[in-house]
């Protein structure tokens, strides 16, 4: 029996079910163990004020370390750059669409929103990028699960909201008015679209069962993006982003940025090299942005959670 720990949200359960079904396809007996985290209990409080997105993973990781569960399934973008001692990323399945999407009540694009239109998001990265593109818009905090955010849009409290394409796909949600945002311009969060499957480093049977779920290209992209995050030492309170792709020739390209909270300053950089050097590419791109003043543009803090 492999026990999979996950949050109770519909999206988290959908991600855990993907992992569970893949393991069952290999003949494993699997149980999903839904868990309520501190981040869920503080659903109305700004994450920046209470410790970042690490609040969504900490208790699940503690249960994994205590062997109350055998596997933890998270969104990779929720994980800090450094995992707790004793845990490892046992599998990173094939990445879903990493892009952000703009959902509106009628406008066809970000550019078509009326001046002063209200856009909902609690992501510092999304807020900065929306304001960088349209400083005339009003960005307001928006927390809650996908259904809650969609209801906020439908109620008229917001004119638009920004969500992850992967989350909508995994939930089978197809809103009417959607603009897919270009990942080279509206750069996704580190690890966006990737399911992270954690296990204990010394649990050989579980690691062996999870090995078949790992996607090579997804892993090297994650290595580059997370190395960028780790070098900057930034928390989810700092607007930053990194998105990697790999060509058929195994050349990895990485686009990254650091922004001020208000979007008035955005530093961008791009690097590429052999996929086998993914982590080095990520660190080098972080160094490039630091040399260009990233620490002054966005105050960088010790990592306490993932990035958004």
- Residue 78: active-site member: yes
Closest to 190 in 3D by CA, of 276, 95, 68, 88: 95
Tokens, residue 71: 């596997």
Which residues of 146-203 form beta strands (DSSP E)? Answer: 160-164, 178-180, 195-200
Please identify which of the residues 40, 61, 70, 78 carries the catalytic annotation.
78
Cα separation of 168 and 177, whole Å? 13
Tokens, residue 108: 């066809």
State whether the Cα torsion 222-226-228-229 is positive or negative. Answer: positive
What φ, ψ does residue 223 adopt, rounded to 5°?
-60, -45
Angle at 184 between CA 141 and CA 179, to 5 degrees: 55
Q: Would you say 204 and 216 are in contact if contact means Cβ atoms under 8 Å apart?
A: no
Cα separation of 106 and 178, whole Å? 9
Secondary structure of residue 250 in the 3-state scheme: coil
User: How remote is the C-alpha of 295 from its chain's centroid?
Assistant: 22
Catalytic residues: 78
């Amino acid at each position: 029996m492999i026990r999979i720990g996950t949050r109770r949200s519909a999206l988290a359960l959908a991600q855990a079910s993907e992992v569970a079904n893949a393991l069952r396809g290999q003949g494993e007996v699997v149980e999903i163990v839904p868990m309520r985290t501190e981040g869920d209990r503080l659903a109305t409080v700004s994450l920046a004020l209470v410790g970042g997105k690490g609040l969504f993973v900490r208790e699940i990781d503690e249960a994994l370390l205590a062997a109350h569960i055998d596997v933890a399934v998270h969104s990779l973008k929720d994980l800090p750059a450094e995992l707790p001692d004793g845990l490892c990323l046992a599998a990173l399945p094939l990445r879903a669409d990493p892009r952000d999407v703009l959902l509106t009540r009628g406008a066809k694009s970000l550019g078509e929103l009326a001046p002063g239109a209200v856009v909902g998001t609690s992501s510092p990265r999304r807020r900065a990028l929306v304001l960088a593109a349209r400083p005339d818009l009003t960005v307001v905090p928006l927390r809650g699960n996908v259904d809650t955010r969609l209801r906020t849009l439908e109620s008229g409290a917001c004119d638009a909201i920004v969500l992850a394409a992967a989350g909508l796909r995994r939930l089978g949600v197809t809103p009417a008015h959607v603009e897919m945002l270009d990942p080279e311009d509206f750069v996704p969060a580190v690890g966006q679209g990737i399911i992270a499957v954690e296990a204990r480093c010394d649990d050989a049977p579980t690691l062996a069962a999870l090995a078949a779920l790992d996607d090579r290209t997804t892993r090297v992209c994650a290595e580059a993006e997370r190395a960028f995050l780790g070098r900057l030492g930034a928390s989810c309170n700092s607007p930053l982003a990194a998105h990697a792709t790999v060509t058929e020739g195994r050349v990895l390209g990485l686009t990254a940025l650091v922004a001020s909270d208000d979007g008035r300053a955005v530093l961008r950089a791009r690097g590429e090299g052999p996929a086998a050097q993914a982590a080095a590419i990520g660190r080098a791109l972080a160094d490039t942005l630091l040399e260009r003043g990233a620490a002054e543009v966005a105050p960088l803090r010790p990592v306490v959670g993932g990035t958004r």
